[in-house]
Structure 1
Amino acid sequence: MATDSRTAARDSGPAARRPMSIEEIRDSYAECADWAARFDWLERRLTGRYRRELFQGAEGRVLDVACGTGPNFEYLPQTVDLVGIDVSPEMLGKARDRLDRLAIDGTLREMDAQDLAFDDDSFDTVISSLSTCTFPDPVAALEEMDRVCRPGGRILLFEHGRSDVGPIARFQDWRADAHYAQAGCRWNQDPLELLVAADLPVREVRNRALGIVTLVEARPSRDSLLDAVRAHVIEG
């Protein structure tokens, strides 16, 4: 019953009735790109440990989806071939400054995460941080991450959502509509529900910060099919 009421509270808010459009998100990010870059030091203090924990094992050709100003870049191994995409040209401008400052050779492209302009199986690792809360259709974005990640690759997600602690969770629910209207962020979502809806096989989930932070390692859905084929061949 508690789960049903919690889901109903999330599903009745403004984000459920009419998510922000890509154009609205782009306009919002244009206004906050300078602010995000200016407070990068605070971002590192608050989230750097989680980004390092999750992304330091990325390898091969790496796609950073909704890369923003590039806060993930410094936590990736220097050996990766990095591609970052974002819907906001202003955010990408700050991300380019960061690449130059870190002396990282990466490619940045303006692109909608829900419609990635890459071929299937283009990347060894797909990463994203604090992004599904703002996508108009987060399941579509996750399905695109799945599509462009090669079989045997990894999808690494640093997300936030509803706390495991009752009073904090109730506060998030109470402020959910106002927070979405102000920041375009569904801060009381359940990231794992989105993964289930996108049919992404989850390898590992780590909860941090009173359950507000969720670190996920998933694998491409095609891995499951390949495993089934291999099992059939072996049994045959």
Structure 2
Amino acid sequence: MQLRALPAFADNYIWALADESGRALFVDPGEAAPVLAVIADGLQPAGVLLTHHHHDHIGGTRELLAHWPDLPVIAPVDERIPHASRRVGDGERVDVASWTFEVLEIPGHTRSHIAFHGHGLVFCGDTLFSLGCGRMFEGTPAQMHASLSRLSALPSTTQVCCGHEYTLANAAFALTVDPGNTDLLRRAAEARSQLDQGQPTLPATLASERACNPFLRTDAPAIGAAVARRLGREPHDAVETFAELRRWKDGFTA
């Protein structure tokens, strides 16, 4: 099994997962060109997985279907996503070619956002980023916190395959919140080195994210203390801690 992060637009990743025979799944093809390029190099398209309706994650699907009209396209239940051959919800099983994934509903960034979990991978779109999380365009802090908690409960070896190269920018905020975190300091240095070498910072292990990502550590004393200083009081619970962290990040400039 080969996993590749295909750069798209300014900072998106389209994920390509290929088996030994060269059949490939493509996750969140916001544009078709990067997918067509690797297919020209020998991959055979087997299916498309879509995590949410935003154009930078689904925009290339129509062109791919123009080339391969019978290509399976698996998407959440959302009328804003055209061209889906199957719409799936929480707990459903997706079988495409040699892969099987479980669907997890993870609302918050959008109301219908889903993730695909299997084979030691989680394709989580714009809900969980390395060292960060997505903005809440359609959900509540409670929903987003629950979705992140659900992802965090997956096995620690899970590879987090998210939709954007935001790691270094997220690291600047995370270090502002949690400057004494040695795991975070190492991860930030690693991310800078990877980017300097022209490599993606993803996927990241869930174990690393649990140790470094402040949005997965709302119960940690250091995160609670940082939020308490901003609020001028102790936060009521982990959801309020998360909500204030997200507000802080929304207005943050490095």
TM range (shorter): 0.3 to 0.5
Larger % of helix: which? 1
State the structure with bigger RCO (CA 8 A, min sep 6), 1 or 2.
1
Q: TM-score, normalised by structure 2?
A: 0.35
Q: TM-score, normalised by structure 1?
A: 0.37
Larger % of strand: which? 2
